[in-house]
């Protein structure tokens, strides 16, 4: 019976709005300072400090000291997936606020989801690949077809490397603004990395939102037939 007091403990930590804000701000894998996180959380620095101490003590965040700054980041990918798992349930919860209309439009268009693309960009890529028979996404699993392997390799992805690493190779990830799956897993991460390398997309300061560059707009249309 005592077995899940730990469960409740962790969930309760995520269950405070300020801490939830902190965790989602870190969801894209970047490390942020205590001050930035206080701003994101909408609380005073001293309050945020307390929250950060708790999250670090529970091993959900990792701390890296640098000069007079303290950088916090998600301690493990599990933490990110846990948050996503809770979000999946949260979007199915009653629409006390209507779904996505209040969300920052930039965030709806394109953002990172831990290490891959989400928003209209992420969903669009997944559907473009699906429409051309390069990808099959089911509810809980996904598969890249032969044609897809050839296509993505041609686009510059190192699929052998992606296969090698110890994580889900190809995983659908339910998009909480679009309510349709986008592409996660090693393939999703590799695709995102390639787009960053090509400077098709760029991170925005203080946000998980992404900017699609002019080159990106052109490239996405030419290569994937995707217009946003």
Partner DNA sequence: GCCACGCTTCGGTCGCGGCCGAAGCGTCGA
Partner DNA sequence: TCGACGCTTCGGCCGCGACCGAAGCGTGGC
User: Are residues 129 and 183 in contact, defined by beta-carbon separation less than 8 angstroms?
Assistant: yes
Rounded distance, CA 91 to CA 99, Å?
8
Binding mask of the shown chain, residues 96 to 135, with x at each position contacting a copy of itself by CB under 8 A: xx----xx---x----------------------------
- In the complex with DNA, the residue whose CB is nearer, 72 or 151, is 72
Q: Among candidates 106, 192, 117, 105, which has minimal Cα distance to 155?
A: 192
Stretch that binds a copy of itself, among 7-15, 30-38, 151-159, 220-228 (CB under 8 A): 7-15
Q: Does 93 bind a copy of itself (CB under 8 A)?
A: yes
Q: Does 159 bind a copy of itself (CB under 8 A)?
A: no
How many residues comprise the chain? Answer: 228
DSSP-assigned letters across all residues of 33-90: EHHHHHHHHTS-HHHHHHHHHHHHHTTSEEEEEETTEEEEEESSHHHHHHHHHHHHHH
Among 72, 151, 169, 224, which residue interacts with a copy of itself (rule: CB under 8 A)?
A: 169
| DSSP 3-state of 213 | coil
Among 45, 59, 156, 202, which residue interacts with a copy of itself (rule: CB under 8 A)?
A: 59
Buried b (16+ CB within 10 A) or exposed e, 184-209: bbbbbbbbbbebbeeebbeeeeebbb
Cβ neighbours of residue 44 under 8 Å, at least 6 residues apart? 38
DSSP classification of residue 4? G
- In the complex with DNA, the residue whose CB is nearer, 12 or 131, is 12
Contacted entry of DNA, a copy of itself, none for residue 97, CB cut-off 5 to 8 Å set by kind: a copy of itself
Residues that contact a copy of itself, how many (by CB under 8 A): 59
Cβ 33 to DNA, closest distance in Å?
Answer: 3
Cβ 173 to DNA, closest distance in Å?
Answer: 29
- In the complex with DNA, the residue whose CB is nearer, 63 or 128, is 63
List contacts with a copy of itself (CB under 8 A).
1-17, 19-21, 24, 40, 42, 57-60, 75-76, 78-79, 81-83, 85-94, 96-97, 102-103, 107, 138-141, 166-169, 171, 185
């Amino acid at each position: 019976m005592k077995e899940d007091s730990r469960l409740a403990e962790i969930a309760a930590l995520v269950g405070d709005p300020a801490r939830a804000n902190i965790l989602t701000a870190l969801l894209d894998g970047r490390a942020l300072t205590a001050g930035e996180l206080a701003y994101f959380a909408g609380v005073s620095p001293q309050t945020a400090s307390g929250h950060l101490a708790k999250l670090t003590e529970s091993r959900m965040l990792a701390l890296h000291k640098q000069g007079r700054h303290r950088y916090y980041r998600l301690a493990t990918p599990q933490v990110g997936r846990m948050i996503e798992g809770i979000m999946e349930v949260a979007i199915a919860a009653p629409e006390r606020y209507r779904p996505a209309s209040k969300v920052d439009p930039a965030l709806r268009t394109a953002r990172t989801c831990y290490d891959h693309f989400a928003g209209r960009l992420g969903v669009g890529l997944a559907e473009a690949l699906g429409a051309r028979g390069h990808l099959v996404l089911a509810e809980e699993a996904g598969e890249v077809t032969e044609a897809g392997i050839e296509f993505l390799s041609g686009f510059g992805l190192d699929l052998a490397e992606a296969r090698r690493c110890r994580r889900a190779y190809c995983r659908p990830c339910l998009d909480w603004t679009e309510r349709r799956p986008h592409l996660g897993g090693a393939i999703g991460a590799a695709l995102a990395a390639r787009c960053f390398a090509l400077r098709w997309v760029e991170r925005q300061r203080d946000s998980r939102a992404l900017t699609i560059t002019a080159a990106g707009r052109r490239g996405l249309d030419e290569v994937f037939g995707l217009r946003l």
